[in-house]
Structure 1
Amino acid sequence: MPGGVEFPDAVPEFAGSGAFVHVSACPIGDAPIGLCVPDDLAAAGGLPAWRAAERIAARALLRSLLVVTADEEAAAAPVRGRKSGRPFLGGRPDVAVSLSHSDGWAAAAVGLRGRVGVDVQLPRPRIAPVRGGEGNQSGAGSQSVASRRPRTVASVVEAAWIWSVQEACVKATGEGLAGRPWQIPVEPGASTGRWGRLRWAAFRELFPVPVSCAWDPGAEAGS
């Protein structure tokens, strides 16, 4: 898959405290759509074409990961969502999953014996809050236009990397935006780190766009 990770040898895997995490990402046109089950296609029904294509691509990547990391039952299990929005596999509480898509890219992650969160973010030129506010708020709009400054291309790209880590963390906890991801400390240029019980990795050397993953090795996958 051009721009993605080949299966199964190059799939990033992190082992720690009994948790195993697998991640993949690619442009939506490279996703193995043929692996989708009818439930995946139904989940995209009624959505705008571009959004449906991204959702299906993320599900396809998830299926391809499940094939090589779990078993046939898991690979065919329906993807459901909790009230918080965190996805899970119906009937397989032992396998944690996470999905993401952004501007023509899709990502998926599978966690065995631990929660997992994945996020892909394409850099978007925009005006950023000046340091001293609540940090990287991804358009939260808490500051006036007069208190903002234009960003350089490098800072836009780095902001996307940082935001992908922050989003992956709150996806792993199941809180989403309610977890105030912009307040999670991430050093510019960092590739790995911790936040509370979570461990995270930004795949700077593996993907041409920001893709990050977070996992909790101490939590039950289905909790």
Structure 2
Amino acid sequence: MHHLVRRGEEVLDELPVAAPDRATAAGLPPWRALEHTASRTLLRALLREIGEDLRGGPVAALPSGRPYLPDRPDLGVSLSHSSGWVAAAVARDRDVGVDVQTPRAVGDRLLRLCCAPGDAEALTALPEDGRRREFAWIFTVQEACVKAAGTGFAGRPWTVPVTLGQRTGAWERVSWCAPREAQEVPACCAWTERRGPGRTFRQVGAAGGDGP
């Protein structure tokens, strides 16, 4: 399993946009086109790093928005974006989910929904900047896990158990890693057990944040 997290504008300044990605971004609002092209450009760069160059092949999306590679169904891929940041992940013979979140204000109700009672109280007691950042780390894990499972919000990400400060873990058949020291912005990658013979995708409901 491999993933990258970068600022979208930096990605587009440094790397060329593939023709299929430029075409699928046509007609999108400028901010959305930037996220679309930057996330896919980052994915292509990641694939080249691991020796899996798409050579201009398409990055498609299921009706739910979950991305996939029509020319390489053996590779699981995931994309995410948040306020100018983009993330991409790829895994061989596994489903994968990646999520990036820029810290933002979070209310008591959302804290209680997504966190264990003791963690919600601890977050409430933190200064605003710390509360925003720590909650973002928790929610990236929850989002990445339901993306890897193929369920998106239908999988009720707030039910994925994550403790304050936790860096690795597992949920159902999904494992995850949140490398806190290695990234400027909260981001997590999650992956499933190896796919069975002939299995390519698992799709249930919406795959939030993986949109085209």
For normalisation by structure 1, the TM-score amounts to 0.78
Q: 1:75 to 1:212 in 2, by over 3 A?
A: farther
Equivalent-residue separation in structure 1 for 2:17 and 2:110 (angstroms): 43
The 3-state SS of whatever aligns with 1:31 is helix
Equivalent-residue separation in structure 2 for 1:192 and 1:122 (angstroms): 20
Asked if structure 2 preserves the Cα contact closer than 8 Å seen for 1:88 and 1:222, the reply is no
Partner of residue 132 from structure 2, selected from 156, 166, 169: 156
Asked if structure 1 preserves the Cα contact closer than 8 Å seen for 2:19 and 2:56, the reply is no
Matched length: 190
Gapped regions of structure 1 (runs ≥ 5): 1-20, 137-147
2:200 is the alignment partner of 1:222: yes
Q: Which shows bigger deviation, 56-65 or 24-33?
A: 24-33
Aligned to 1:41: 22
Partner of residue 98 from structure 1, selected from 63, 66, 78: 78
Matched AA of 2:113 = E
Aligned to 1:169: 145
**What displacement does 1:42 show?**
1.6
Equivalent-residue separation in structure 2 for 1:203 and 1:149 (angstroms): 24
Gapped regions of structure 2 (runs ≥ 5): 116-123, 202-212
Identity within the alignment, %:
44
Q: Which runs of 4+ in 1 moved over 3 A?
A: 32-35, 148-151
For normalisation by structure 2, the TM-score amounts to 0.82
Equivalent-residue separation in structure 1 for 2:110 and 2:34 (angstroms): 36
2:54 is the alignment partner of 1:78: no
Matched AA of 1:215 = W
1:16-165 alignment to 2 at 5 Å? Answer: 21-32=1-12, 34-72=15-53, 74-129=54-109, 133-135=112-114, 152-165=128-141
Equivalent-residue separation in structure 1 for 2:28 and 2:125 (angstroms): 35
Q: Which shows bigger deviation, 43-52 or 200-209?
A: 43-52
Quote the RMSD (CA, aligned, Å). Answer: 2.2
**What displacement does 1:69 show?**
1.6
2:176 is the alignment partner of 1:196: no
